[in-house]
Amino acid sequence: MNGENLRVGVLGATGLVGRAMVACLERSSLEFKDVRLWATERGAGSMMPFRGAALAVEAWSAGAHRHVDALLLATKGDVSRGVAPEAAADGTLVIDNSSAFRMDPDVPLVVPEVNPAALSENRGIIANPNCSTIQLVAALAPLHEAARLARVVVATYQSVSGVGREGLMALEREESGEDPGPSPFAAPIHRNVVPQCDAFLEDGWTREEWKLQVETRKILELPRLDVAATCVRVPVAVSHGEAVTADFHEALSPGDARARLAASGVHVEDDPSVSLYPTPAAVEGRDGVFVGRIRGRPESPRTVHLWIVADNLLKGAAANAVDILECMVFHG
Protein backbone atom coordinates (compact mmCIF):
# COMPACT_ATOMS: atom_id res chain seq x y z
CA MET A 1 0.00 0.00 0.00
CA ASN A 2 1.53 3.30 -1.13
CA GLY A 3 1.78 5.80 1.71
CA GLU A 4 2.26 8.79 -0.59
CA ASN A 5 -0.76 8.27 -2.84
CA LEU A 6 -3.13 6.73 -0.35
CA ARG A 7 -6.85 7.07 -0.92
CA VAL A 8 -8.83 6.47 2.25
CA GLY A 9 -12.51 6.54 3.11
CA VAL A 10 -14.65 6.45 6.24
CA LEU A 11 -18.16 4.99 6.18
CA GLY A 12 -20.25 6.16 9.12
CA ALA A 13 -18.31 9.42 9.27
CA THR A 14 -21.00 11.41 11.10
CA GLY A 15 -21.33 9.10 14.13
CA LEU A 16 -19.29 9.45 17.32
CA VAL A 17 -16.66 6.92 16.27
CA GLY A 18 -16.71 8.05 12.63
CA ARG A 19 -16.00 11.65 13.61
CA ALA A 20 -13.19 10.47 15.86
CA MET A 21 -11.76 8.44 12.96
CA VAL A 22 -11.72 11.51 10.74
CA ALA A 23 -9.99 13.51 13.48
CA CYS A 24 -7.39 10.75 13.96
CA LEU A 25 -6.73 10.58 10.22
CA GLU A 26 -6.28 14.36 10.20
CA ARG A 27 -3.65 14.14 12.96
CA SER A 28 -1.87 11.10 11.55
CA SER A 29 1.48 11.17 9.77
CA LEU A 30 -0.09 9.67 6.64
CA GLU A 31 -0.22 11.69 3.44
CA PHE A 32 -3.42 11.27 1.45
CA LYS A 33 -4.12 11.58 -2.22
CA ASP A 34 -7.85 11.58 -1.48
CA VAL A 35 -10.14 11.31 1.55
CA ARG A 36 -13.78 10.35 1.08
CA LEU A 37 -16.44 10.48 3.78
CA TRP A 38 -19.69 8.53 3.59
CA ALA A 39 -22.79 8.14 5.71
CA THR A 40 -26.35 6.94 5.43
CA GLU A 41 -28.88 9.20 3.76
CA ARG A 42 -29.59 10.86 7.14
CA GLY A 43 -25.98 11.97 7.63
CA ALA A 44 -25.14 12.77 4.02
CA GLY A 45 -24.80 16.35 2.83
CA SER A 46 -22.96 17.78 5.82
CA MET A 47 -19.42 19.16 5.70
CA MET A 48 -16.51 18.12 7.92
CA PRO A 49 -13.19 19.97 8.35
CA PHE A 50 -10.02 18.16 7.33
CA ARG A 51 -6.51 19.66 7.16
CA GLY A 52 -7.66 23.16 6.30
CA ALA A 53 -10.37 22.09 3.88
CA ALA A 54 -14.00 21.06 4.17
CA LEU A 55 -15.01 17.62 2.98
CA ALA A 56 -18.54 16.77 1.94
CA VAL A 57 -20.15 13.72 3.50
CA GLU A 58 -21.58 11.66 0.66
CA ALA A 59 -24.41 9.15 0.68
CA TRP A 60 -23.04 5.62 0.48
CA SER A 61 -23.83 3.69 -2.67
CA ALA A 62 -22.94 0.22 -3.88
CA GLY A 63 -19.43 0.08 -5.28
CA ALA A 64 -18.30 3.34 -3.67
CA HIS A 65 -15.42 1.46 -2.05
CA ARG A 66 -13.70 1.34 -5.45
CA HIS A 67 -12.76 5.01 -5.00
CA VAL A 68 -10.39 4.23 -2.10
CA ASP A 69 -7.48 1.94 -1.21
CA ALA A 70 -8.51 1.62 2.44
CA LEU A 71 -11.99 1.84 3.96
CA LEU A 72 -12.59 2.41 7.67
CA LEU A 73 -16.02 1.22 8.81
CA ALA A 74 -17.70 2.93 11.77
CA THR A 75 -20.94 1.10 11.15
CA LYS A 76 -23.28 -1.43 12.72
CA GLY A 77 -22.48 -5.08 12.19
CA ASP A 78 -25.20 -5.65 9.62
CA VAL A 79 -23.84 -2.84 7.44
CA SER A 80 -20.27 -4.10 7.82
CA ARG A 81 -21.30 -7.62 6.84
CA GLY A 82 -22.79 -6.24 3.64
CA VAL A 83 -19.95 -3.86 2.71
CA ALA A 84 -16.70 -5.46 3.87
CA PRO A 85 -16.59 -8.72 1.85
CA GLU A 86 -17.40 -6.98 -1.42
CA ALA A 87 -14.85 -4.24 -0.81
CA ALA A 88 -12.14 -6.74 0.17
CA ALA A 89 -12.88 -8.84 -2.91
CA ASP A 90 -12.25 -5.75 -5.06
CA GLY A 91 -8.88 -5.12 -3.39
CA THR A 92 -9.87 -2.44 -0.89
CA LEU A 93 -8.40 -2.92 2.58
CA VAL A 94 -11.21 -2.85 5.15
CA ILE A 95 -10.69 -1.96 8.82
CA ASP A 96 -13.99 -2.70 10.57
CA ASN A 97 -14.93 -1.34 13.98
CA SER A 98 -18.05 -3.51 14.39
CA SER A 99 -18.21 -6.95 15.96
CA ALA A 100 -19.15 -8.58 12.64
CA PHE A 101 -15.82 -10.26 11.88
CA ARG A 102 -13.92 -10.22 15.18
CA MET A 103 -14.22 -13.93 15.87
CA ASP A 104 -13.89 -15.03 12.25
CA PRO A 105 -10.79 -17.27 12.21
CA ASP A 106 -9.77 -15.81 8.83
CA VAL A 107 -9.91 -12.18 10.07
CA PRO A 108 -7.11 -10.81 12.29
CA LEU A 109 -8.23 -8.98 15.43
CA VAL A 110 -5.51 -6.45 16.10
CA VAL A 111 -4.17 -4.01 18.67
CA PRO A 112 -0.97 -2.86 16.92
CA GLU A 113 1.19 -2.58 20.03
CA VAL A 114 0.14 -6.08 21.12
CA ASN A 115 -0.12 -8.34 18.04
CA PRO A 116 1.04 -6.49 14.91
CA ALA A 117 2.24 -9.73 13.29
CA ALA A 118 -1.39 -10.79 12.90
CA LEU A 119 -1.80 -8.09 10.24
CA SER A 120 0.20 -10.19 7.81
CA GLU A 121 -2.57 -12.81 7.90
CA ASN A 122 -5.28 -10.50 6.58
CA ARG A 123 -7.32 -11.35 3.50
CA GLY A 124 -8.57 -7.82 2.99
CA ILE A 125 -10.51 -7.39 6.25
CA ILE A 126 -9.01 -6.44 9.63
CA ALA A 127 -11.20 -6.26 12.73
CA ASN A 128 -10.92 -3.56 15.37
CA PRO A 129 -11.50 -5.11 18.83
CA ASN A 130 -14.16 -4.03 21.28
CA CYS A 131 -13.32 -0.85 23.20
CA SER A 132 -13.07 -2.54 26.59
CA THR A 133 -10.89 -5.30 25.13
CA ILE A 134 -8.36 -2.93 23.56
CA GLN A 135 -7.40 -1.23 26.81
CA LEU A 136 -7.38 -4.52 28.72
CA VAL A 137 -5.02 -6.39 26.40
CA ALA A 138 -2.73 -3.37 25.98
CA ALA A 139 -2.07 -3.52 29.72
CA LEU A 140 -2.05 -7.31 30.08
CA ALA A 141 0.27 -8.12 27.16
CA PRO A 142 3.55 -6.82 28.66
CA LEU A 143 2.71 -8.44 31.99
CA HIS A 144 1.95 -11.75 30.28
CA GLU A 145 5.32 -11.58 28.54
CA ALA A 146 6.96 -11.22 31.93
CA ALA A 147 5.08 -13.78 34.02
CA ARG A 148 2.56 -15.73 31.86
CA LEU A 149 -1.10 -15.04 32.52
CA ALA A 150 -3.18 -17.69 34.27
CA ARG A 151 -6.47 -15.93 35.05
CA VAL A 152 -8.07 -12.52 34.60
CA VAL A 153 -11.04 -11.10 36.51
CA VAL A 154 -12.25 -7.70 35.34
CA ALA A 155 -15.08 -5.35 36.28
CA THR A 156 -15.65 -2.60 33.73
CA TYR A 157 -17.07 0.87 34.32
CA GLN A 158 -18.22 1.81 30.83
CA SER A 159 -19.31 5.26 29.70
CA VAL A 160 -22.63 5.97 27.99
CA SER A 161 -20.91 6.92 24.72
CA GLY A 162 -20.15 3.24 24.33
CA VAL A 163 -23.61 2.85 22.80
CA GLY A 164 -23.22 5.94 20.60
CA ARG A 165 -24.92 9.30 20.50
CA GLU A 166 -28.13 7.75 21.85
CA GLY A 167 -26.36 7.00 25.13
CA LEU A 168 -25.13 10.56 25.55
CA MET A 169 -28.58 11.96 24.77
CA ALA A 170 -30.27 9.61 27.24
CA LEU A 171 -27.93 10.71 30.04
CA GLU A 172 -28.40 14.38 29.17
CA ARG A 173 -32.20 14.06 29.21
CA GLU A 174 -32.18 12.32 32.58
CA GLU A 175 -29.76 14.87 34.07
CA SER A 176 -31.98 17.76 32.95
CA GLY A 177 -35.13 16.16 34.29
CA GLU A 178 -36.69 15.83 30.86
CA ASP A 179 -38.88 12.94 29.84
CA PRO A 180 -36.19 10.29 29.17
CA GLY A 181 -38.17 8.75 26.33
CA PRO A 182 -36.69 5.66 24.67
CA SER A 183 -33.37 4.73 26.29
CA PRO A 184 -30.63 2.33 25.21
CA PHE A 185 -30.20 1.38 28.86
CA ALA A 186 -32.17 -1.21 30.81
CA ALA A 187 -32.53 1.11 33.83
CA PRO A 188 -32.15 4.84 34.57
CA ILE A 189 -28.50 5.84 34.14
CA HIS A 190 -28.37 9.25 35.87
CA ARG A 191 -27.08 8.87 39.45
CA ASN A 192 -27.05 5.14 38.92
CA VAL A 193 -24.95 2.23 37.67
CA VAL A 194 -26.43 -0.49 35.48
CA PRO A 195 -24.77 -3.95 35.58
CA GLN A 196 -25.74 -4.71 32.00
CA CYS A 197 -23.89 -3.77 28.82
CA ASP A 198 -25.57 -5.19 25.71
CA ALA A 199 -28.09 -8.06 25.78
CA PHE A 200 -28.05 -11.08 28.06
CA LEU A 201 -27.08 -14.45 26.64
CA GLU A 202 -28.70 -17.72 27.66
CA ASP A 203 -25.96 -18.51 30.17
CA GLY A 204 -26.52 -15.28 32.12
CA TRP A 205 -23.49 -13.39 30.82
CA THR A 206 -24.02 -10.30 28.67
CA ARG A 207 -22.80 -10.10 25.11
CA GLU A 208 -20.31 -7.38 26.15
CA GLU A 209 -18.85 -9.72 28.76
CA TRP A 210 -18.64 -12.53 26.22
CA LYS A 211 -16.86 -10.27 23.72
CA LEU A 212 -14.30 -9.20 26.29
CA GLN A 213 -13.55 -12.82 27.18
CA VAL A 214 -13.22 -14.32 23.70
CA GLU A 215 -11.51 -11.32 22.11
CA THR A 216 -8.86 -11.22 24.85
CA ARG A 217 -8.08 -14.88 24.22
CA LYS A 218 -7.82 -14.37 20.47
CA ILE A 219 -5.56 -11.31 20.60
CA LEU A 220 -3.21 -12.76 23.22
CA GLU A 221 -3.28 -16.17 21.49
CA LEU A 222 -4.30 -17.83 24.76
CA PRO A 223 -7.38 -19.87 23.78
CA ARG A 224 -7.75 -21.43 27.25
CA LEU A 225 -7.13 -18.31 29.32
CA ASP A 226 -9.60 -18.05 32.21
CA VAL A 227 -11.27 -14.65 31.76
CA ALA A 228 -14.29 -13.51 33.78
CA ALA A 229 -15.89 -10.11 33.25
CA THR A 230 -18.67 -8.06 34.79
CA CYS A 231 -19.52 -5.12 32.54
CA VAL A 232 -21.25 -2.13 34.13
CA ARG A 233 -22.61 1.05 32.53
CA VAL A 234 -21.92 4.23 34.54
CA PRO A 235 -23.16 7.84 34.16
CA VAL A 236 -19.94 9.08 32.55
CA ALA A 237 -19.93 10.63 29.07
CA VAL A 238 -16.63 9.29 27.69
CA SER A 239 -13.88 6.84 28.75
CA HIS A 240 -14.08 3.36 30.23
CA GLY A 241 -12.48 2.23 33.48
CA GLU A 242 -11.55 -1.35 34.40
CA ALA A 243 -10.67 -2.87 37.77
CA VAL A 244 -8.53 -5.91 37.00
CA THR A 245 -7.13 -8.78 39.02
CA ALA A 246 -4.55 -10.74 37.02
CA ASP A 247 -3.10 -14.04 38.22
CA PHE A 248 0.17 -15.27 36.71
CA HIS A 249 2.11 -18.51 36.58
CA GLU A 250 5.20 -16.72 37.93
CA ALA A 251 5.73 -14.10 40.60
CA LEU A 252 5.37 -10.47 39.50
CA SER A 253 5.89 -7.57 41.87
CA PRO A 254 4.00 -4.27 41.52
CA GLY A 255 7.31 -2.54 40.82
CA ASP A 256 8.13 -4.93 38.01
CA ALA A 257 4.62 -4.51 36.65
CA ARG A 258 4.99 -0.70 36.61
CA ALA A 259 8.32 -0.94 34.80
CA ARG A 260 6.98 -3.40 32.21
CA LEU A 261 3.92 -1.30 31.52
CA ALA A 262 5.88 1.93 31.16
CA ALA A 263 8.39 0.28 28.81
CA SER A 264 5.53 -0.96 26.62
CA GLY A 265 4.15 2.53 26.05
CA VAL A 266 1.29 2.35 28.55
CA HIS A 267 0.90 5.58 30.53
CA VAL A 268 1.56 4.72 34.16
CA GLU A 269 -0.01 7.23 36.57
CA ASP A 270 0.39 5.61 39.95
CA ASP A 271 1.38 7.42 43.14
CA PRO A 272 -0.94 6.78 46.11
CA SER A 273 0.89 9.37 48.23
CA VAL A 274 -0.61 12.16 46.12
CA SER A 275 -3.74 10.28 44.97
CA LEU A 276 -2.37 9.97 41.45
CA TYR A 277 -4.30 7.58 39.21
CA PRO A 278 -6.13 7.95 35.89
CA THR A 279 -9.82 8.86 35.81
CA PRO A 280 -12.29 8.91 32.90
CA ALA A 281 -12.58 12.70 32.98
CA ALA A 282 -8.81 13.20 32.95
CA VAL A 283 -8.28 10.71 30.10
CA GLU A 284 -11.07 11.96 27.81
CA GLY A 285 -9.57 13.29 24.58
CA ARG A 286 -6.18 11.66 25.18
CA ASP A 287 -4.90 8.76 23.11
CA GLY A 288 -3.36 5.70 24.73
CA VAL A 289 -4.01 3.45 27.71
CA PHE A 290 -3.58 4.69 31.28
CA VAL A 291 -2.92 2.50 34.32
CA GLY A 292 -2.79 3.18 38.05
CA ARG A 293 -3.57 1.57 41.43
CA ILE A 294 -0.98 -1.12 40.67
CA ARG A 295 -0.66 -3.24 43.78
CA GLY A 296 -0.09 -6.73 45.11
CA ARG A 297 -0.36 -8.71 48.33
CA PRO A 298 2.51 -10.51 50.12
CA GLU A 299 0.40 -13.66 50.47
CA SER A 300 -0.23 -13.75 46.72
CA PRO A 301 3.03 -12.88 44.86
CA ARG A 302 1.66 -14.10 41.53
CA THR A 303 -1.33 -11.71 41.57
CA VAL A 304 -1.38 -8.07 40.45
CA HIS A 305 -4.31 -5.68 40.84
CA LEU A 306 -4.59 -2.64 38.57
CA TRP A 307 -6.93 0.06 37.30
CA ILE A 308 -7.07 0.73 33.53
CA VAL A 309 -8.67 3.73 31.80
CA ALA A 310 -8.91 4.79 28.16
CA ASP A 311 -11.02 7.06 25.98
CA ASN A 312 -13.38 4.55 24.37
CA LEU A 313 -13.92 6.69 21.26
CA LEU A 314 -10.19 7.21 20.66
CA LYS A 315 -7.98 4.34 21.83
CA GLY A 316 -11.02 2.13 22.17
CA ALA A 317 -12.07 2.61 18.55
CA ALA A 318 -10.89 5.34 16.16
CA ALA A 319 -7.23 5.70 17.10
CA ASN A 320 -6.69 1.94 17.12
CA ALA A 321 -8.21 1.69 13.62
CA VAL A 322 -5.92 4.44 12.32
CA ASP A 323 -2.94 2.80 14.06
CA ILE A 324 -3.77 -0.37 12.12
CA LEU A 325 -3.84 1.62 8.88
CA GLU A 326 -0.49 3.22 9.65
CA CYS A 327 1.02 -0.20 10.39
CA MET A 328 -0.20 -1.50 7.05
CA VAL A 329 1.20 1.54 5.19
CA PHE A 330 4.54 1.91 6.95
CA HIS A 331 5.32 -1.71 7.74
CA GLY A 332 3.30 -3.71 5.21
Q: Which CATH number fits domain 6-128+316-331: 3.40.50.720, 3.90.380.10, 3.30.930.10, 1.10.10.60?
A: 3.40.50.720
| DSSP track, 237-255 | SS-EEEEEEEEESS---HH
User: Quick count: other Cβ atoms within 10 Å of Cβ 168?
Assistant: 16
- Give phi and psi for 268, each to the nearest 5: -95, 115
pLDDT (tens, 9 = 90+) of the chain, 332 residues, equals: 666 689 999 999 999 999 999 999 999 999 999 999 999 767 788 999 999 999 999 999 999 999 999 999 999 999 999 999 999 999 999 999 999 999 999 999 999 999 999 999 999 999 999 999 999 999 999 999 999 999 999 999 999 999 999 999 999 999 999 887 899 999 999 999 999 999 999 999 999 999 999 999 999 999 999 999 999 999 999 999 999 999 999 999 999 999 999 999 999 999 999 999 999 999 999 999 999 999 999 999 999 999 999 999 999 999 999 999 999 999 87
Give the residue extent of every domain in the chain. Answer: 6-128+316-331, 132-312
- Helix, strand, or coil (residue 81): helix
What's the count of helices (H) and strands (E) in the chain, helices before strands? 8, 13
Entry pTM:
0.96
Asked if residues 137 and 288 have their Cβ atoms less than 8 Å apart, the reply is: no
Amino acid at 88: A
Catalytic site residues?
Answer: 131, 240
Strand order in the sheet with 240-248: 226-233, 149-158, 240-248, 300-310, 290-297, 267-268
- The CA-to-CA distance between both ends of the chain, in Å, stands at 7
Residue 182 DSSP one-character state:
S
Domains 6-128+316-331 and 132-312 share a fold: no
Any idea which architecture 132-312 has in CATH? 2-Layer Sandwich (3.30)
pLDDT per residue as tens digits for the range 120-141: 999 999 999 999 999 999 999 9
The beta-strand segments (E) located in 74-186 are: 93-96, 125-127, 149-158
Residues in the chain: 332
Measured between alpha carbons, how far is residue 194 from residues 18, 161, 174, 243, 284 in Å?
Answer: 26, 14, 14, 16, 21
Asked if residues 92 and 11 have their Cβ atoms less than 8 Å apart, the reply is: no
